Chain A
Amino acid sequence: MSLLTGVYGLFVREMLKWFRQKIHIIFAFIVPIVWLILFGKSFNISYLLEAPVGVPEPIREAVQQAIQLMILRIFGTLDYFNFFAVGMLNAFALFTSMWSGMSLVFDRRLGYLERMLAAPIPRASIYMAKVLASVAKGLLQFTVMLILVFILGLSLKPGINPLDILAVYLVMLALMLALSAVFTATAVKITSHDAVISISNLVNLPLIFTSNAIFPVEQMPAWLKSIAAVNPLTHSISLSRYLLLGIGKPSAMTLHSSYLLIFTVGCVALGSYLASKYL
């Protein structure tokens, strides 16, 4: 039997269960809306930094111009919502992937894991099916969010073409694969759902704050910068901002994509190894 025996069936199982639990679906799509609309639209940096009215007109114009240049330098776009929304698309890849271990915990509890372990399929298949299902859910959620941010006024870079969108999907695929691989692997040995929840909660916000999801890396202190440099989110966010908004130097993208690729391959390989050894 091949390495992938059973993956398809188990993947379909995960998806069936997900679609059947209406509550999962609602959460998967309502929570991003809350973040995007309530958080994304409540912070309007262009308004906050408008030159005050009392300033004499010619100077005011100049100041206003200077401020706009400054915002553009920091965020790469005049509307912070653009910057934030793309960050959030990536953040939600994390928020969704970090629960990927839970279904393994429950399968262990409810005895289904034993059933899978008794079947003549590779241990890694059980693991990969969970990872792929988590990625599929993430990509569906991503699609809905992409449409939503567009409706909310995301201004795509001029002359964007379908290949850019395809490339963003590949970036998200890589990111979700890597993160789901890591979080599913935590549940290979950890058998209590409390522990898995704690781990997820412990790492999720730090991962967001040490990336450029909400604030640009350039203005961080050096020690934070070096953490951001190894955080896969930084790289996927830079790539997706480049592809969707045209922010960032084209020359930097090779580094970002190489890092993301290597990180993803590493995580999936390590996770599969742990699963085949310890599941």
Chain B
Amino acid sequence: MREEAVDVDALSVVYRNSVRAVDDVSLVIKRGELFALVGPNGAGKTTLMKVLTTLLKPTSGRAYVCGLDVVREAGQVRRRIGYVPQNLSADDELTGMENMLLQCRLYGVSGREAVKRSRQLLEVVGLLDAANRVVASYSGGMRRRLEIAMGLVNTPEVLFMDEPTLGLDVQSRLVIWDYIKTLRKQEDITIIFTTHYMEEADKLSQRLGIIDRGRIVALGSPEELKRRIGGDIIALEAEGDVEGLLRRLSFVDSVSLVNGGYRVKVVDGEENLPKILNTLNENGVKVRKVTLIKPSLDQVFVEFTGREYKEEEPPDYLMQTFIRSSRRR
């Protein structure tokens, strides 16, 4: 019996402060997929992941992981999944090896088998040399790699990773990408990760869901989603009857207003941008600024939400997670 890795049906989570963090989400992730859940901060990625990893009970709706109900069969689900939390949570007073051995014990693996598995996984993530150093002495990238190794001790069927590259420099992020790709190739494993970097979801995942304000607004492979934009985008800042003028052109697909600027969807942007500028010029419209944008997931986000995608973290981001993690569940 090979049920779907994840099957979510009309799931909602409302926190006690009546924030609706996950809003009527339905989603199926097949076995063996490398799936990304991508969206801005506060979109509800962590919340959804906590439901799937049995850490949070949904307010309504159902969720199954490996065909098991995350509420009623939580114990079984826990045994089959690996979870790499968003916040670094290895014990930093212990060494990497001690953390691994302890993690093994939590999953019922002990003795020689635990040592063997720990060494193996530490080797995979390149931490064997640092295995006997306390985690407090690790760099951010090393800690993330340790967290990933810890999520794999029970050779999970489904691995959940919540923002595995959060707070890392570009170099370390690339290293993590590599591990994820290798893992995907070697093992019969479903990998589900969240990220607020659109580019990361684009480069890394086979399929992705864009989540915004608790809702899945788009679902598909990166290529599919970009294709759905149906062309290039020309962003314009100008005064005058831009909409009226451009709608008449045959190669213009649509014109919309986003954040006080015009978003003009066209086929073959390089070719048609000069024509658009000419048209506007001839009709006395003053163009202040113009950008040609090739389809990207950022644009997919704009397309489906009508808002610009901002991926930078709010300044009080760390503070928020700190408060959140200390709050009651």
Contact of A119 among B101, B107, B110, B327 (CB under 8 A): B107
Query: Looking across the interface, which residue of chain A has its beta carbon closest to that of B150?
Result: A115
Query: B98 touching A118 by the CB < 8 A rule?
Result: no
Query: Is there an interface contact between B102 and A9, defined as CB atoms closer than 8 Å?
Result: yes
* Chain B residues numbered 49-76 whose CB sits less than 8 Å from any CB in chain A: 53-55, 75
Nearest chain A CB to B325 CB, angstrom units: 6
Stretch of A10-18, A31-39, A47-55 with 4 or more beta carbons under 8 angstroms from chain B: A10-18
A5, CB-defined interface residue at 8 Å: yes
Closest residue of chain B to A2, judged by CB? B108
Residues B326 and A192 in contact, CB atoms below 8 Å apart: yes
B residues less than 8 Å from A110 (CB atoms): 89, 91-92
Interface of B: prevailing SS:
loop
Q: A13 CA to B104 CA in the complex, in Å?
A: 13
The interface size bin for chain A is 20 to 34
Which residue of B is nearest A7, CB measured? B105
> Does A6 sit at the interface, judged by CB under 8 A?
yes
* Secondary structure class of chain A's binding surface, majority of residues: helix
What is the CA–CA distance of A111 and B327 in the complex, to the nearest angstrom? 11
A108, B106: Cβ atoms under 8 Å? Answer: no
CB nearest neighbor in B for A193:
B326
B85 on the A face (CB < 8 A): yes
Flag if A6 contacts B106 (CB, 8 Å).
Answer: yes
Q: Which of B93, B106, B325, B328 has the most CB of A within 10 A?
A: B106
Q: Does B83 contact A (CB under 8 A)?
A: yes
Q: Are A119 and B89 in contact (CB under 8 A)?
A: no
A5, A108, A112, A117: the one within 8 Å of B91 (CB): A112
Q: Quick one: CB contact mask for A107-151 with B, threshold 8 Å, 1 for yes?
A: 011111011111111000000000000000000000000000000
In the complex, what's the smallest C-beta–C-beta distance from B47 to chain A, in angstroms? 13
A108 to B103, CA, bound (A): 17
| B255 close to A (CB within 8 Å) | no
In angstroms, how far is the closest chain B Cβ from the Cβ of A133?
A: 13
CA distance A120 to B154 in the complex (A): 10
A141 to B298, CA, bound (A): 60
CA A118 – CA B53 in complex, angstroms? 7
Q: A1-B108, A121-B106 are in contact. Are A111 and B328 (CB under 8 A)?
A: no
Q: Which residues of A contact B92 (CB under 8 A)?
A: 110
Note all chain A residues with C-beta closer than 8 A to B327.
191
Q: Report whether A13 and B94 are in contact in the complex, using a CB–CB cutoff of 8 Å.
A: yes
Give the chain B neighbours of A115 by CB distance below 8 A: 83, 85, 89-90, 103, 106, 150
A118–B87 CA distance with the chains assembled, in angstroms: 14
Tell yes or no: A43 within 8 A of B by CB: no
Q: Cα distance A114–B78 when bound, in Å?
A: 12
B79 interface residue, CB < 8 Å from A? yes
Q: Which residues of A contact B328 (CB under 8 A)?
A: 189, 191
Residues of B contacting A16 in the complex (Cβ-Cβ under 8 angstroms): 93-94, 98
For the complex, give the distance between the alpha carbons of A21 and B78 in Å: 32
Nearest neighbor of A115 in chain B, beta-carbon distance: B89
Q: Specify which chain A residues have a CB less than 8 angstroms from the CB of B292 in the assembled complex.
A: none
- Do B54 and A118 touch across chains, with their CB atoms under 8 A apart? yes
Most buried by A among B83, B94, B102, B150: B102
User: Contact between B102 and A10 (Cβ–Cβ < 8 Å)?
Assistant: yes
Give Cα A64 to B266, complex, Å: 111
| CA–CA, A21 and B103, complex, Å | 22
User: A114 to B326, Cβ gap below 8 A?
Assistant: no
Residue of B nearest to A17 (CB): B93
Smallest Cβ-Cβ distance to B99: which chain A residue: A13
Given contacts A118-B54, A119-B103, A120-B106, 18 further A-B contacts (CB under 8 A): A1-B75, A1-B108, A9-B102, A9-B110, A13-B91, A13-B94, A16-B98, A114-B55, A114-B85, A114-B87, A115-B150, A116-B106, A118-B55, A118-B78, A119-B78, A120-B108, A191-B326, A192-B326
Interface positions of B (Cβ within 8 A of A): 53-55, 75, 78-79, 83, 85, 87-94, 98, 101-103, 105-108, 110, 150, 325-328
Tell me the A residues contacting B by CB distance below 8 Å. Answer: 1, 5-6, 8-10, 12-13, 16-17, 20-21, 108-112, 114-121, 189, 191-192
A-B contacts, 22 of them at CB < 8 A, read A1-B75, A1-B108, A9-B110, A10-B102, A13-B94, A13-B102, A17-B91, A17-B94, A110-B91, A110-B92, A111-B85, A111-B87, A111-B88, A112-B89, A112-B90, A114-B89, A118-B55, A119-B103, A119-B106, A120-B79, A120-B107, A191-B326
